[in-house]
Amino acid sequence: MQRITRKLARFRALPPRDRRTVLSAMALLPLFWIALHLLGLQRLQARLHRQPRPRSSPPDLDEMKRLGALVNSTSRHVLGPANCLTRSLYLWWLLRRKGVYCHLRIGVRLSEGALEAHAWVERAGIPLNDRHDVGALFDAFAEPMSPSRFLSP
């Protein structure tokens, strides 16, 4: 019970915009996970693709990283799994809705003979929801995963 009380106190201490982000992520991350499994990455990303909305002042790098941290933190408290691909796809979509053009990156590595994959979001080569050196830990595909590659003519 104390654990829930602490979590609620931390949630209440957040600024209102962060509380909205957390609540939105709690509701939408499970839906993104389901859609990802039903549609697959290519079709889901193509459906979510839209031109970024022009804004007078897009969020700065610190704000984008803060959103990434909020989404990562929230993903540990949602129903169902919210793996790195689901989190990153959600953050990619959220930032695009805020007028930020960013890239969904997917990388792989061999670890003790097993292939591991990881996803993160980058803006101008800077990871927004992961360690600064994630690109050195995982060999990312040569080009960022752009939904325009999946749109039919």
Q: Which residue has the tokens 């003790």?
A: 112
- State pLDDT tens for residues 116-128: 999 999 999 999 9
- Residue percentage of the chain with pLDDT more than 90: 55
Q: Please, where are the H alpha helices in the chain?
A: 2-13, 16-39, 41-48, 61-75, 84-97, 134-137
- pLDDT for res 153: 45
Q: Which residue has the tokens 């931390």?
A: 10
- pLDDT for res 86: 95
114-123, strands of its sheet edge to edge? 126-127, 114-123, 103-111, 139-140
Each residue's pLDDT tens digit in the chain (153 positions)? 778 788 888 888 889 999 999 999 999 999 999 999 999 998 998 888 866 666 667 889 999 999 999 999 999 888 877 799 999 999 999 999 888 889 999 999 988 889 999 999 999 999 999 999 998 999 888 765 555 554 544
Q: Are 52 and 64 in contact (CB under 8 A)?
A: no
- pLDDT for res 32: 94
Q: What is the rounded end-to-end Cα distance, in angstroms, of the chain?
A: 55
For 87-101, b/e burial (b = at least 16 CB within 10 A) is bbbbbbbbbbebebe
The one-letter code for the residue type at 76 is: R
CA separation for the pair 53, 130 (Å, rounded): 25
Q: Are 18 and 10 in contact (CB under 8 A)?
A: no
